[in-house]
Amino acid sequence: MKLVAGTDKGLIVYQRTTQGWDLAEIHFIGLPVSAFHQDISGNWWIAINHKHWGSKIYRSHYQGESFKELNSPKFSPENNLSLRSVWTIDSFRDKIYVGTEPAALFEWNGESFKELRGLSEHPSRNKWQGGGKGSRNPFLHTVVFNPAKPEELMVGISCAGVMRSFDSGITWTPANNGLKAFFLPDSEAEVGHDPHSIIRHPKDANRLWQQNHCGIFRSIDGGDSWMDVSDPNEIAVYGFDLVIDEEDINTAWVIPAQSDDLRYPHNTRLEVFKTNDGGKNWISKSEGLPKATSFDLVFRSGFDKKGQVMAFGTNNGNLYLTEDKSETWQTISQNLSAVRTVSLLQ
């Protein structure tokens, strides 16, 4: 197994050996990696958000042996938008998608990225807002697929909310029923919400989990409606990423922050919280993590799980891993730059 961490100073690759987790490679050293993805064919896709040269996308057919730069996404001239950054790269079967700032979804056609203009030109777009890092632009950071319905696409946009398409991205509708947006005059507005991450359960396509600006939410009807399943003790509430158990539809893990305006671990304690009853109760599973004061924050793509193995990285360059589903954690590194993405590869 490999652990791939996209950081502000390069793509860091660790390899599982008989001795533990060893540093194997560093790609794009010194450059800010904003997105990483391995597709069904084993190709690596990497986005670099250069401060001076703009956003670049690279692909490797050989898991990092060599990389080729691809044409970056370009907006249709009619939209009067220009690419500022790439937030996510994801795929379903042989289709590759890129989510950007300003918020848009692009599909790779083998030669270039095609803008799905039905989303870019959605009638509600004038109600979308900037969603983070001081940006005035909304950005698309999450793409969710439905194996039972290949034509269905779901995306998370900060700040617009969850949007769905049932015709492969031609038309889109909001899917924010039941979500809360305390930062809006109308907390239950149709658009304007701030999802941080969304995951569809592989065993039941109707069940989705969402870590949101205003709490943790769950859907049992494919996203038609959402239920607040935040920690009743008000600890596991605000955060940016979550993972779910691939077998158990009721089990998930989050790494909570204090609040939306105080972005450090709850009570300055870096902890992982787990629920195994669909969010009714959340318990700390943090053995091996620092017990002293911590100011680590986990970004929206910084937490991953594959079977028994889970890993997360933080804004302070710390990387932690468990091989027993969060019973005990170990430190992989405390010397990286800010970790933007974490991926576990079989």
pLDDT in tens, the chain (346 residues): 999 999 999 999 999 999 899 999 999 999 999 999 999 999 999 999 998 899 999 999 999 889 999 999 999 988 889 999 999 999 999 999 999 999 999 999 999 999 999 999 999 999 999 876 556 799 999 999 999 999 999 999 999 999 999 999 999 999 999 999 998 998 999 999 999 999 999 999 999 999 999 999 999 999 999 999 999 999 999 999 999 999 999 999 999 999 988 999 999 999 999 999 999 999 999 999 999 899 999 999 999 999 999 999 999 999 999 999 999 999 999 999 999 999 999 8
pLDDT tens by residue, 215-230 = 999 999 999 999 999 9
Is 35-345 assigned to CATH 2.130.10.10?
A: yes
Q: How far apart are CA 9 and CA 11, in angstroms?
A: 7
Q: Is the dihedral of CA 266, 271, 275, 278 positive or negative?
A: positive
Q: How far apart are CA 274 and CA 196, in angstroms?
A: 18
pTM of the model: 0.95
The pLDDT score that the predictor gives to residue 135 is 66
Which of 63, 117, 150 is closest to 346 using CA atoms?
Answer: 63
Within 10 Å of residue 234's Cβ, how many Cβ atoms?
Answer: 12
Contact 118, 76 (CB under 8 A): no
Give 210's strand partners.
Answer: 198, 217
Give 59's strand partners.
Answer: 45, 68
Q: How far apart are CA 204 and CA 150, in angstroms?
A: 15
Contact 88, 144 (CB under 8 A): no
